[in-house]
Amino acid sequence: MANPRKRVPENIPGDFFVDSTCIDCDTCRRVAPAVFGQAAATSFVKAQPAGSDRRVALRALLACPTGSIGCLGGDDIRAVTEDFPLPVEGPVYYCGYNSPKSYGGNSYFVRHPDGNWLIDSPKFVAPLVRRLEALGGVGHIFLTHRDDVADADRYAAHFHARRVIHRDELPSQPGAEVVLDGAGPWALAPGFLAVATPGHTRGHCALLYDDRFLFTGDHLDWDRDGHRLAASEDYCWYSWPEQIESVRRLADYNFEWVLPGHGQWVQLPADRMREEVLRLVEQLTVGLGPSG
């Protein structure tokens, strides 16, 4: 529970506030960009919400991994728990309830007649578990890499789901039921293709669904300020040259959506998305030494 006595000074006055436990993970700014802004090392309330924006701000409150958002109004927060998982498009949903174990990483849910999929893991919390049960449960859990497994083991046990992870990431989920070996790609089920995207970590993988939705983990995201695809060398733990090559590899696939573990998601026409991928490769390659 956020503490009003620990409000960060950047908040404007009103019911909603961010306190000093914020880890600056970007979750609230993605969920409710009209309400929350970014200061030097924290989010803050830049505009007190009214009308429908108030419910959106409450979604951000529930999604916050560290409980750093507070609301002093009389809002029915329990009613907002029914909003998650939140529809993105078609059978794809954003789970909310981001976990501090994955530094506030996003996770996603795909409804499918042959078994629903969870991509990376949110917090294991009763309201979300009940909603996923109502939507048919979870049959498969795709884990992009070691950083964002969060409570995957608890979801797997509860739903009797199969976890999928690359062998190089296996120490984070040693009991995973499906282990990917080598460089892929791997057809996991009709319409579901795992693509090796090493760089951020050695065994990082993305999941392509229906040739439209690419779940990218910590590989790349959308820069909401620059209005372009982006990747971060600052948060590359294994090999930046390999991460650049992994971005280049994505130009071989058709997709319209980039749904990242951290940062902003985006939808673009497939041809424009491919142009963005190639532009990003060109940008990242500039300054890369001959050894890269």
Contact call for residues 31 and 62 (beta carbons, < 8 A): no
Which pLDDT value is given to residue 292? 37
The pair of structure tokens assigned to 167 is 């062998």
Cα torsion angle, 266, 271, 272, 275, sign? positive
Instruction: Say if residue 248's pLDDT is above 70.
Output: yes
Question: If you average pLDDT over residues 239-244, what whole number do you get?
Answer: 97
Instruction: Say if residue 207's pLDDT is above 60.
Output: yes
Which pLDDT value is given to residue 288? 61
Please tell me the distance from the alpha carbon of residue 83 to that of residue 96, in angstroms, as a whole number.
9
The residue with tokens 């040259």 is: 241
Question: If you average pLDDT over residues 106-118, what whole number do you get?
Answer: 97
Determine which helix (DSSP H) or strand (DSSP E) holds 54, and give its type and residue range: helix 52-63
CB burial readout 41-60, b (16+ within 10 A) else e = ebbbbbebbeeeebebbbbb
The distance from CA 39 to its chain's CA centroid, rounded to whole angstroms, is: 21
Question: If you average pLDDT over residues 232-247, what whole number do you get?
Answer: 95
Please tell me the distance from the alpha carbon of residue 137 to that of residue 99, in angstroms, as a whole number.
20
Please tell me the distance from the alpha carbon of residue 273 to that of residue 170, in angstroms, as a whole number.
31
Instruction: Say if residue 290's pLDDT is above 80.
Output: no
Please tell me the distance from the alpha carbon of residue 176 to that of residue 230, in angstroms, as a whole number.
30
- Can you give the pTM of this predicted structure? 0.95
Instruction: Say if residue 150's pLDDT is above 70.
Output: yes
Which pLDDT value is given to residue 291? 36
Which residues, other chains included, contact 86 with Cβ-Cβ below 8 Å and sequence gap of 6+? Answer: 59, 93, 94, 95, 96
The rounded percent of the chain whose pLDDT value lies above 90 is 95
* CA dihedral angle for residue 140, residue 158, residue 149, residue 182, rounded to 10 degrees: -40
Q: Give all domains of the chain, ordered by start, each with its CATH number.
A: 4-80 (3.30.70.20), 84-285 (3.60.15.10)
Instruction: Say if residue 287's pLDDT is above 80.
Output: no
pLDDT digits (tens, 9 = 90+) for 15-62: 999 999 999 999 999 999 999 999 999 999 999 999 999 999 999 999
